[in-house]
Amino acid sequence: MAVAAGLLAASPSTAQQSGADEQAARPWMDTALSADARAGLLVQALTQDEKIRLVHGELAIPFLGATVPPGALGSAGYVPGIERLGIPALQETDASLGVANPFNVRPGDSATALPSGLALAATFDVTLAHDGGAMIGQEAWRKGFNVLLAGGVNLARDPRNGRNFEYLGEDPLLAGMLAGASIRGIEEQHVVSTVKHFALNDQETNRNWANSVIGEAAARESDLLAFQIAIEQGRPGAVMCAYNLVNGEYACGNDHLLNGVLKGDWGFPGWVMSDWGGVHDVDFALKGLDQESADALDKVAYFDKPLRDALSAGTISQDRLSAMVRRIFRSMFAAGLFDHPPVKSPIDYAADSEVALRVAEQGIVLLKNDQGLLPLAATANRIAVIGGHADAGVLSGAGSSQVIPRGGPAAVVPVGGEGMLAPLRKMVFAPSSPLKAIRAAAPAAQVKFDDGRYISSAVAAAKWADVVIVFANQWSIEGDDLPDMTLPSGQDALIAAIAAANPKTIVVLQTGGAVAMPWLAQTPAVIEAWYPGQRGGEAIANILFGKTNPSGHLPITFPKSPDQLPRPELPGIRMPQGQRFDVNYNVEGADVGYRWVAARKLAPLFPFGFGLSYTSFDYGGLSIAGGQTMQVSFTVRNTGKVAGMAAPQLYLASAAGQDEVRLLGFDKVSLAPGESRRVTMTVDPRLLADFDEAAHGWRIRAGTYAVKLGNSSRDTVLDASTAMDAAFLKP
């Protein structure tokens, strides 16, 4: 026993010696050093072959003839580690709305499915965005992943964009702040997050050949500003460059965007990875690309043999290769991939499901509520629920962001088609039945369901009912844009017929973006539920029956029709695949969405920022201070009879004598009846400035600046003005 005790007593020092020996052999494992210093030490230990191995990844799903590589979990991508140096593999998964499992490559592996990005944006809640990111990051870490292809921040320039549902709306401040908060939540879980798709990837039609044409100032004040804010707020480890061209150069080989703006002006320290199949030449390495993703999808694995050849020829330097790898390592150390590697472990799905419910409830937007039809009384006698597969579940968007929800899909409807994304073209319904939730909310009512396939039977159900709840869906998918803004499959005609049969008709929209509503005048109540995630049915019922007070606000403008858009016809829609075409974003420039309709004095169907509540809010005590920094304070009070959440929005009205409309600030404030709160907003000076191309920076003109405070971009209730000093800011 004495010997055993002696051995036990010696074990701590032995362990300490072992740790010291490891640190001496691997000095980059010294956690007292900065991420930059650790990355530099590790790069010095690599051979050229090892460096090359780290700058091109493998496809890790059985797709287009590929197989899952040894060591890969089965996901979007995989970069093998280097065991001799303790470098972990990069296990990459799509995770915009939850941890994806494409083609069920990991049999039976499901994840918490959040509502769409637009639903999150409609919450106007930065804290909730952080919580959603943290939830996804934690689930990914416990599944063994350490890189998330998340952080979509492309602006909604066109409501027909098939990928709008993934993104965060049309305003750079709102999108950037929410994306940044979500990214920060992910990175705090010791997981690298991307921000994507850099940049101006604002439509899906022929996205590999679309050339986004835009001036420097317009880009800086819109799409690029959204990315800049997201990067500042979230500090992502990686930026994913886009498929499209920008001003004639592919985004993944765009020297101005990657070297000039991202790494130069913004000082981004992380790495740039390509989108899957987005590399077209080895010289993209010279133009700022650091890593080729899923090289099997490119014409050639450019960052493998062609890169070796370029290094031998001297057209790409060893220093550039080392810099590429150093950026990857820097982000890995900063996020904790070396010090806190993923551990496959149990996941608290019940707690995560509550996050999904909170996003769904706060993201639902009450668009219309005439005569106080909502909330419905629990004592309603006869309720007809019609259409939208409401008996099964709630709709989700499709593409690489598709999540297999907990419990599995309630229904899957294959759509088919051609092209690389054909296997992903299927409508997936999350198992959260609105019909079931409505019956639970009104147990004494007779609730009849009609699938809406035939107008005659739907009208009969509507005539039978005291109140009708009609569900209307618009499905969208990555890779395709929508042909127009109408609801598909004759749903507009269905709604019109139902509304004519019963004046108490409520429309629940589940859409990927803005839709036209030719029946709006005939329907007293409309809610926009977006794609509401795995607790969506419950969230919708909670809103309908008043268990939850709606607090969502539109993160996009709802135009009346495509005629109100900068490009009424979708660019490239008539072009064959493989033929380049221009998308002229100089038409609107930085005037995206609400700024476009304001500049053109158009009246949209619903404005940016719009959203009704079951209570009322009053704003007062507006004060403003200017000079070098603008700060605005005000009081918001709940003047109604029920608790609710206000989303105060501050807009610029004019700048130094020039009319402008820009979102300057927003907040989400929860208030009990009669409660008030003082809110202070400090305005980002770039939102008061114009980008000066000649001087290469942001310029604030001296003069008087007027602001307006209110509930939407068109419903402002207070105004104030102040003098601002002239200022010049770095880009």
Alpha-carbon span 279 to 44, nearest angstrom? 27
CA angle 266, 268, 274 (to 5 degrees): 120
Alpha helices in 102-144 (DSSP H): 117-122, 126-143
Do 510 and 407 form a contact (C-beta atoms < 8 A)?
A: no
Angle 358-359-363 from CA coordinates, rounded to 5°:
120
Q: What is the CA radius of gyration of the chain?
A: 26
Output the six-digit token pair for 334. Answer: 């900063």
Angle at alpha carbon of residue 380, lines to 376 and 381, rounded to 5°? 160
d(CA 531, CA 427) in angstroms, rounded, equals 12
Vertex 388: Cα angle to 386 and 393 (nearest 5): 110
Contact, 507 vs 470, CB < 8 A?
Answer: yes
Strands across the sheet with 658-666, in order?
A: 658-666, 649-655, 703-710, 716-724
- What's the rounded Cα separation, in Å, for the pair 474 and 490? 11
Closest to 27 (Cα-Cα) out of 343, 338, 341, 340: 338
Which tokens sit at 579?
Answer: 């033929």
Q: Select which of 275, 290, 591, 690 is catalytic.
A: 275
Residues 98, 113: contact at Cβ < 8 Å? yes
Contact 607, 615 (CB under 8 A): no
Q: Which helix (H) or strand (E) holds 49?
A: helix 48-54
Question: Has 370 been annotated as catalytic?
Answer: no
Instruction: Give me the sign of the Cα torsion angle 8, 13, 14, 15.
Output: positive
Query: Cα 464 to chain center, whole Å?
Result: 42
* 97 neighbors 119 (Cβ within 8 angstroms): no
Between 172-187 and 126-143, two packed helices, what is the crossing angle to 10 degrees?
40
Pairing of strands 716-724, 703-710: antiparallel
Per-position b or e across 143-180, b if 16+ CB within 10 A of its CB: bbbbbbbbbbbbbbbbbbbbbbbbbbbbbbbbbbbbbb
Q: Are 437 and 540 in contact (CB under 8 A)?
A: yes
Element (H, E) at 690: strand 690-692
Give residue 47's region: left, alpha or beta (phi > 0; psi -120 to 50): beta
Tally of helices (H runs) and strands (E runs) in the chain: 17, 32
Tokens 């020996």, residue located: 21
Pull the structure tokens for residue 232: 């500042």
Q: What token pair was written down for 607? A: 């404005």
**Bridge-partner residues for 412, per DSSP?**
428
CA distances from 683 to 150, 316, 582, 649 (A): 27, 43, 35, 12
Terminal C-alpha separation, the chain:
70
Query: 402 is written with which tokens?
Result: 């598709």
CA distance 193 to 187: 6
Residue positions counted in the chain: 731
| Catalytic annotation, residues | 275
